[in-house]
Homo-oligomer: A and B are copies of this chain.
Amino acid sequence: MEIQSAVKALLALAQETRLTVFRLLVAAGPEGMNAGAIAATVGVPAATLSFHLKELLHAGLVVARQDGRYIFYSANFAAMDDLIAYLADNCCQGGSCLPKTAAVAATTKRRRQTA
C-alpha cells in the first residue's frame, strides 16, 4: 500500500459521521445497508450522507450495489485489513509493540514468508 492510499483511507475515516457510518457498515456485515437506512440510523440529511458516502467510496473503504431502487453500501473488509496492516507495518523491530499491533505484525510476517 502506498502512502497516498493510506492517507486517503485515513482521511475518509477521520470524520465523525463517516467513522460512524463505516463502523455501522462493518457491524452490518457483507449485506450492508441502503443509503436511506444509514441516513436514518446516523441522523443526517440525505445530501450530507451522500457526500460522505462518496468520500468513503472514493477511498475504497465501502462498496455500493444496487438492489431494486435501493442502493446498498457495505464495508470493504479487505481495505480495512490493508489499512490496519499498513499502520502496524514498520513496527515491532525494537520489540516496542503492544498486543494488537504485534498480532497484526505477526500475521503480516507469516504471510510474507508464505508468499
Instruction: Please tell me how many copies of the chain the complex holds.
Output: 2
Known: A77-B98, A84-B104. A90 touches B3 (CB 8 A): no
Report the separation of the CA atoms of residues A26 and B86 in the bound assembly, to the nearest whole angstrom. 12
B23 touches A93 (CB 8 A): no
A100 touches B91 (CB 8 A): no
Interface residues of A in 86-110 (CB under 8 A from B): 87-91, 93-94, 96-101, 103-104, 106-108
Contacts of A63 in B (CB 8 A): none
Q: Could you write out 9 A-B pairs with CB less than 8 Å apart? A: A6-B19, A7-B15, A7-B19, A26-B90, A30-B96, A77-B97, A81-B99, A84-B87, A84-B101
